Amino acid sequence: SALIPAILVLTVLTGVNVNVFFSGIGGRTMLYLAYLIVQSILIGATIDYGILFTNYYLGFRSDGQSKESALREAYRGSIHTIMTSGLIIILAPFIMSELLTDPTICSILSSLTFGALSVIALVILVLPALLAATDKLIVRRR
């Protein structure tokens, strides 16, 4: 279904835009080039989390499980991977931003930290709801 890539990209881009929104509210400034770097890294690194969860969900749905059961099993199958690599992409830039002194690099790293946190929260909390809501459109019956 063409709807699946749209849902995944929408989820990740929403996380990126939440990052930009809260950066603006917080009064932080960021160079446009830095914004492009952060957006590219976030999209490239975090879209896989959504793909992983969606593949588990679709696999369980194609096996005939209910939406609730498929969501539960998709969480069980993907949450360890999502949280392990997600915590790496959150903690590594955060620690580096605390250790470095260059304000431009620190801005990029802190933005990357908050953006990754936003995207991971959306993948864990919002993506399952989107998949369940569009289930009839994305699940192919045997």
Mapping DSSP onto H, E and C, the string for the chain reads: CCHHHHHHHHHHHHHHHHHHHHHHHCCCCCCHHHHHHHHHHHHHHHHHHHHHHHHHHHHHHHCCCCHHHHHHHHHHHHHHHHHHHHHHHHHHHHHHHHHCCCHHHHHHHHHHHHHHHHHHHHHHHCHHHHHHHCHHHHCCCC
pLDDT beyond 80 at 142: no
Cβ proximity of 50 and 11 under 8 Å? yes
Q: How far is it, in rounded angstroms, from Cα 10 to Cα 93?
A: 24
Q: Identify which has the larger pLDDT, 21 or 92.
A: 92
- What mean pLDDT do residues 120-141 have? 90
Average pLDDT, the chain: 89
pLDDT beyond 90 at 107: no
Residue with tokens 């699940």: 139
pLDDT value at position 21? 84
Name residues whose C-beta falls within 8 Å of residue 13's C-beta, 6 or more positions apart in sequence: 43
Q: Identify which has the larger pLDDT, 31 or 38.
A: 38
pTM: 0.87
Confidence of residue 120 (pLDDT cuts 50, 70, 90): very high
Q: How far is it, in rounded angstroms, from Cα 120 to Cα 49?
A: 8
- What mean pLDDT do residues 100-122 have? 90
Confidence of residue 135 (pLDDT cuts 50, 70, 90): very high
pLDDT beyond 70 at 141: no
